Chain A
Amino acid sequence: MKVSAVSENACLIQVGDHISESLTAVIAQLSENIEQTLGDALIDLIPSYTTLLCVYDLNKVDDLWMLKTLRQIVQSVDSTENNSVTSIDYLGKSLSRLIEIPVWYDPEVGYDLEVMASDKQMTQSELIQLHTSKEYRVFATGFMPGFAYMGSVDTALATPRQATPRKAVAAGSVGIADIQTSVYPAQSPGGWNIIGRSPTQLFDISRGDNAALLQVGDRVQFVSVDRATFIELGGQLG
């Protein structure tokens, strides 16, 4: 792991080079240790696939103190990791939440479901089966409030982003881009391939500090529901 100062009030920890679930577990562990050690000198953390950005208050500490402290934390986590890769994997898994997201997979709301299934020479139900057959991990959040980048989908489902993004993708749309999958928290332009729609509110201001449903490290299981259930759970058509 490499720690460097990227700006006057932020340090970046490079945890690895390749996207993997075990990195996400290490990043979750690092985040916890950093929050405990830094206290109010920490402004925020931005975990992503292979990195953790630590934004700090430069009126409380300086870059040298930050680098030294972060390197100590990295070392302690590093040695835990080397001694027992499986234990940190286990830790990551037991600490992280499992969130179920209901999805109505249907061409009426999944604009690209038919084309994707025929391109991949599978039936729509085979495609749905593949998407719901495994748990995904939240690798990063961003793009818009509550948007979570999850992976990795079965390689048979991997599909490149659309060459021309749609002007408007409806809120709740469930999409695939390369090996990642996500749900649009709100209507937005977007280039992901849309296979269904969820009634779940991914970002809800009335939930206060928990407005964003998904956080980095969470595990997500998509569950196929029918049209009636989708509407009963508050799903919106159109």
Chain B
Amino acid sequence: MANLHIIKAGWQSTVQDLGRQGYFRSGLSEGGALDEIAFRWANALLNNPANSACIEILMGDFEAEFEQATCIAITGADLNCTINGKSIENWQSLKVKAGDRIRFNSPITGLRAYLAIAGGWQTPIQFGSRSTVLREKLGGIDGEKLKIGQKLSYLVNPDTPLQKLDSQFIPKYTDELTLKVLPSYQYDLFSETAKRRFFTSEYSVSQRIDRMGYRLEGPEVMADNQQLISEGISLGAIQVPPDGQPIVLLKDRQTIGGYPKFGCVASLDCSLLSQQAPGNRVRFELSDVATVQIQRRLFEKRLQIFNYI
């Protein structure tokens, strides 16, 4: 075992895996990497098990030093990453030596980068997961974001085969994003006018975005009935509070809630949304469960084939 020494902790760098499942009924959030696409590829590039913990680095200003040689992979947002001052490309695995310094500077495209390490970051497992949920003080190191001076343990695996992801599989974090929506929950409580407005308008990402959800700004869409009995909330649920501005609920969402919901955004589209910065434009399009499930299964297949070859 060796350690990564945190020199600069950044805005919000947290340890994340695929999240905490099986404890929703005790009121625990799912948690987990917000951008599952980038997270899964980071582990695939190192032949890691799919649930190995990565560091999710929000917007950069993160610096750390490796105690011993091993292999890492970087995916997700381009935060102008350097090792010992030399620029390195995203979406590949690479070797690091003892004493190497990695730095994530500031966003060029996207918001969240994933730093994976061969074998995964070795932080304690709580309720079946290493994911940090700040609100619940669970996961990571003491349930908090990473801090200056902390050490993160890793296994020494310098001989992991190096790989690079073909550009056709690399998502583009473009400004305009269209999210596929499965109409469900209180969809029928919204008027035809509200539905039309919702699917034909452009929304912009507001300043109020975090791991719980993305609040969007645009034409108001109000449901006819505002008073609902709280019910279980699925990933990607589009919740509309009384101000009529939709919120797409992400990994750190609460388990139940009582605001009217339009339906759910596809999980892979939630990943792409989590890379969008305030001011970026977002649209919604009507989709169906079969289409979205097939896309998700194709994604899983691609990962399997990548690790098989």
Q: Is the CB of A7 within 8 A of B184?
A: yes
Majority SS of interface residues in chain B?
mixed
Which B residues are CB-close (under 8 A) to A53? 231-234
Q: Is the CB of A12 within 8 A of B293?
A: no
Known contacts: A48-B230, A50-B229, A142-B256. The answer to whether A6 contacts B27 by CB under 8 A is no
Q: Is the CB of B234 within 8 A of A10?
A: yes
Which B residues are CB-close (under 8 A) to A143? 27, 254, 256
Which among B88-96, B167-175, B190-198, B259-267 touches the partner chain?
B259-267
Assembled-state Cα–Cα distance A199/B254 (Å):
26
Which B residues are CB-close (under 8 A) to A47? 25, 232
A-B interface contact total, Cβ < 8 Å: 128
Asked whether B38 is an interface residue with its Cβ less than 8 Å from the other chain, the reply is no
Q: Is the CB of A46 within 8 A of B230?
A: no
Which B residues are CB-close (under 8 A) to A74? none
In the assembled complex, the CB of B103 is this many whole angstroms from the nearest CB of chain A, namely 34
Q: Is the CB of A146 within 8 A of B267?
A: no
Asked whether B176 is an interface residue with its Cβ less than 8 Å from the other chain, the reply is no
Asked whether B289 is an interface residue with its Cβ less than 8 Å from the other chain, the reply is yes
Which A residues are CB-close (under 8 A) to B267? 7-9
Q: Is the CB of B232 within 8 A of A58?
A: no
Known contacts: A7-B184, A63-B290, A212-B27. The answer to whether A142 contacts B234 by CB under 8 A is no
Q: Which of B278-301 contact A (CB under 8 A)?
A: 289-290, 292-293, 296-297, 300
Asked whether A228 is an interface residue with its Cβ less than 8 Å from the other chain, the reply is no
In the assembled complex, the CB of B246 is this many whole angstroms from the nearest CB of chain A, namely 15
Asked whether B83 is an interface residue with its Cβ less than 8 Å from the other chain, the reply is no
Assembled-state Cα–Cα distance A63/B293 (Å):
9
> Which of chain A's residues has its CB closest to B21's CB?
A43
Asked whether B28 is an interface residue with its Cβ less than 8 Å from the other chain, the reply is yes
Which A residues are CB-close (under 8 A) to B182? 5-8
Asked whether A55 is an interface residue with its Cβ less than 8 Å from the other chain, the reply is yes
Q: Which of A43-93 contact B (CB under 8 A)?
A: 43-53, 55, 58-59, 62-63
Known contacts: A46-B24, A59-B297. The answer to whether A144 contacts B231 by CB under 8 A is no
> Which of chain B's residues has its CB closest to A202's CB?
B27
Q: Is the CB of A145 within 8 A of B28?
A: yes
Q: Is the CB of A8 within 8 A of B292?
A: yes
Which B residues are CB-close (under 8 A) to A63? 289-290, 293
In the assembled complex, the CB of A218 is this many whole angstroms from the nearest CB of chain B, namely 12
> Which of chain B's residues has its CB closest to A148's CB?
B27
Assembled-state Cα–Cα distance A44/B293 (Å):
18
Asked whether A205 is an interface residue with its Cβ less than 8 Å from the other chain, the reply is yes
Q: Is the CB of B184 within 8 A of A4?
A: yes
Which A residues are CB-close (under 8 A) to B26? 141, 145-146, 203, 211-212, 215
Q: Is the CB of B297 within 8 A of A6?
A: no
Q: Is the CB of A6 within 8 A of B234?
A: yes
Q: Which of A185-238 contact B (CB under 8 A)?
A: 203, 205, 209, 211-212, 215-216
Q: Is the CB of B231 within 8 A of A55?
A: no
Asked whether A140 is an interface residue with its Cβ less than 8 Å from the other chain, the reply is yes
Q: Which of B12-58 contact A (CB under 8 A)?
A: 21-28
Partner of B266, one of A6, A8, A205: A8
Asked whether A19 is an interface residue with its Cβ less than 8 Å from the other chain, the reply is yes
> Which of chain A's residues has its CB closest to B128's CB?
A209
Known contacts: A5-B182, A6-B264. The answer to whether A48 contacts B229 by CB under 8 A is yes
Q: Is the CB of B22 within 8 A of A43?
A: yes
Assembled-state Cα–Cα distance A10/B233 (Å):
9
Which B residues are CB-close (under 8 A) to A50? 229, 231
Q: Is the CB of A62 within 8 A of B231?
A: no
Q: Mark B243-282, 1 if CB is under 8 A from A, else 0.
A: 0000000000011110000011011000000000000000
Which residues of B approach A to under 8 Å, CB–CB?
A: 21-28, 126-127, 135-136, 138, 182, 184-185, 229-237, 254-257, 263-264, 266-267, 289-290, 292-293, 296-297, 300
**6 pairs from A and B in contact (CB 8 Å cutoff):** A7-B237, A44-B25, A48-B256, A142-B255, A143-B254, A145-B136
Extra 17 A-B pairs, beta carbons < 8 Å, given A51-B231, A140-B256, A145-B138:
A5-B289, A8-B289, A9-B235, A10-B232, A10-B234, A12-B231, A44-B25, A48-B256, A58-B296, A62-B290, A63-B290, A141-B255, A142-B257, A143-B27, A143-B256, A205-B126, A212-B26
Which residues of A approach B to under 8 Å, CB–CB?
A: 4-10, 12, 19, 43-53, 55, 58-59, 62-63, 140-147, 149, 203, 205, 209, 211-212, 215-216
Top 6 closest pairs, chain A to chain B, by CB: A53-B232, A46-B232, A7-B264, A212-B26, A142-B256, A6-B184
